[in-house]
Structure 1
């Protein structure tokens, strides 16, 4: 009888059983690695190391009262005040200004640092921890360049608002052109293009207008260019020049106040609204709300600051042997006889004192003692750009003018 070998059969059975009981593949378990939170750094301190208290100075607050509310003794406040008074005057903290207090995290919870913000950028650090000290500092500021184009339908400020721009930009542009363009005669359809810079704290928080580099404003279809170059040695303000390196600044401002309207011009025959008779009106009336600042249109010396029945409160300024100006109907005078004033200094405020039917300033102008219409005078310009600086100026101007040319004018 033939023997049967069962070995191959047994091997097949074992292989089959082994396949049935193979373990299912294990699922991979992913472990999430938590990243540590980045530490918060501000004012040169790692805030995670402290208890942080933020607040603003309120009416009735003082440095001593704030420190007292956080457990600092009066003796310690006096010691701090004496040691830091050359850098930080505790008596001059202002309502509405933010401050930050850093306290130790231990059980004592001592005040270690007081930080007072004078502005969005400038702040003072008062260290109370070991040796008392104070340090002025600035937040990191970045400058971002912007361009804008707009068209005027009613006023410059309204045009800026239509573009979603700050009124500060309108003010700055008006300041640049105040010697060349009469903004009381601004026309519907006048256009502007501006290259300007803005300040940002930590790249995100808007901190205001830095400067205007270049602008062009079309007025009566004539382009008026302005390019920033250098600063005034006395005021520190930026100076602007046109395409031919002529200063945009003039000896006289175009008007003695900002954003108003001319209610009556210089004329030899006008019906007086109070006296009810025809007479010469040898001034230009600018209607504006009571309290609007009135400024001197040029450098000079105050020769009169008084009150009369007709003029009301008024100030008169002699600019040189040739020119004199006068400002009438003020609600309040802000200049004394003998006082030297600079162009743009506030010498009073709009009112309706004297023979006036409403709030306005009557602006009068003399040339060699004769009253004239200032808008018909060929008034002098300021000091021209030095010849030695012109090559540098034209190189900068050419580049900026090309950039302005890339911006399209907006139409109504």
Structure 2
């Protein structure tokens, strides 16, 4: 009898567990069949799911009025909108190539509720038409990612950066930092660099450019040149860089009047002129570069000549002070006028081959107290040094950065250039 009770109990248990398993399986199926609602798509501060979204790019010849008219906004409303938002957004100055987004209601009227103009990859302007006409600027969410890099130059700085998968924007920033200290026309195979820098990303994924370079070291002729970002220039607002001894990397004069080129002819008292076919002094330094390459003023000053002659072609002359004057010849186009004040690095013209020139280049000439000299043999002044009161803080500030740079291994120099 007892055995019968045991058998009945076992059967009951099996049935009970079987039912529970069936219920669990049924519940799982119910859960799996429930569709998850995707999170709302939000952009520019709007939930896009609530609107018809029109995305396009400003084309050559487009106007704000024509774009709005094509999307159902009357000319009278366009005029009222333009008048209302003028202080924040000038509709007459939209630029071809810039993306824009229009948000419309989802009903049959398809009424425009917002126009968003992308000023650049991060900044945008919103014209909101939901209740009242309102315009404001805003930024896309940006994250900063800190990165490290190392490389060795086998041909050029840009080539070395490209070999490491680094952006041309980073190359330009390095050139800007060192343009007072290193002549990139004399860059050597085997020169090495290490960097600590920050990149910007939109929504944590879309690359948006270089934020800044915190620290760098570039070996040139086996000498290390350190650069640490510390503070900003009070006038330009640009970052200032100093070396490991708190000496400014900036100088009164730039090393060259343009970026990434080659010296095709140096200052000499005897050179065979390629056009005049005779021996004569060449009291300038020729930088060969593609036509249209921007030419910089190598120091602050006042334009005292902006003209054309048969020999010089288009040329500009800048007086920096009572001691120094510079001149820039053979431009395709001049970009300044006589009497205009220029800052170091301002674009004063563009490379060309006007005048007595066989190809596109700029002839850079340099005067000291009215005498033409070779600028690369002059002891030129540096910019204002770091104030003594700031030096203790500076040395503490760069201590960690220098340690981080030291921990980054230099890339090995290929045997073929050793």
Same fold (TM over 0.5): yes
Partner of 2:271: 270
Residue 388 of structure 2 is aligned to residue 387 of structure 1: yes
Partner of 2:318: 317
Work out the CA distance in 2 between the residues paired with 1:373 and 1:51: 66
Work out the CA distance in 1 between the residues paired with 2:313 and 2:133: 56
Secondary structure (helix, strand or coil) at the match of 2:295 reads strand
Secondary structure (helix, strand or coil) at the match of 2:236 reads coil
Work out the CA distance in 1 between the residues paired with 2:408 and 2:274: 49
Unmatched 5+ stretches in structure 1: 1-7
Alignment deviations for residues 146-205 of structure 1 (CA, whole Å, 9 cap, x no partner)? 000000000000000001110110110000000000000000000000000011111111
Shift of 1:60: 2.1
Shift of 1:100: 1.1
Residue pairs, 1:156-175, within 5 angstroms: 156-175=157-176
Shift of 1:105: 2.0
Work out the CA distance in 2 between the residues paired with 1:393 and 1:60: 52
Residue 298 of structure 2 is aligned to residue 297 of structure 1: yes
Task: Give the TM-score normalised by the residue count of structure 1.
Answer: 0.94
Shift of 1:216: 0.2
Partner of 1:335: 336
Residue pairs, 1:8-407, within 5 angstroms: 25-26=18-19, 27=22, 28-29=25-26, 30=28, 31=30, 32=32, 33-407=34-408
Shift of 1:107: 3.0
Work out the CA distance in 2 between the residues paired with 1:332 and 1:68: 40
Work out the CA distance in 2 between the residues paired with 1:19 and 1:101: 69
Secondary structure (helix, strand or coil) at the match of 1:298 reads coil
Unmatched 5+ stretches in structure 2: 414-418
Shift of 1:127: 1.0
Secondary structure (helix, strand or coil) at the match of 2:193 reads strand
Secondary structure (helix, strand or coil) at the match of 1:317 reads strand
Work out the CA distance in 2 between the residues paired with 1:204 and 1:309: 54
Shift of 1:108: 2.3
**Superposition CA RMSD, Å:** 2.2
How many pairs are equivalent?
404
Work out the CA distance in 2 between the residues paired with 1:19 and 1:49: 58
Alignment deviations for residues 34-86 of structure 1 (CA, whole Å, 9 cap, x no partner)? 32211111111111111211111112221111111111111111111111111
Task: Give the TM-score normalised by the residue count of structure 2.
Answer: 0.92
Partner of 2:416: none
Shift of 1:245: 0.7
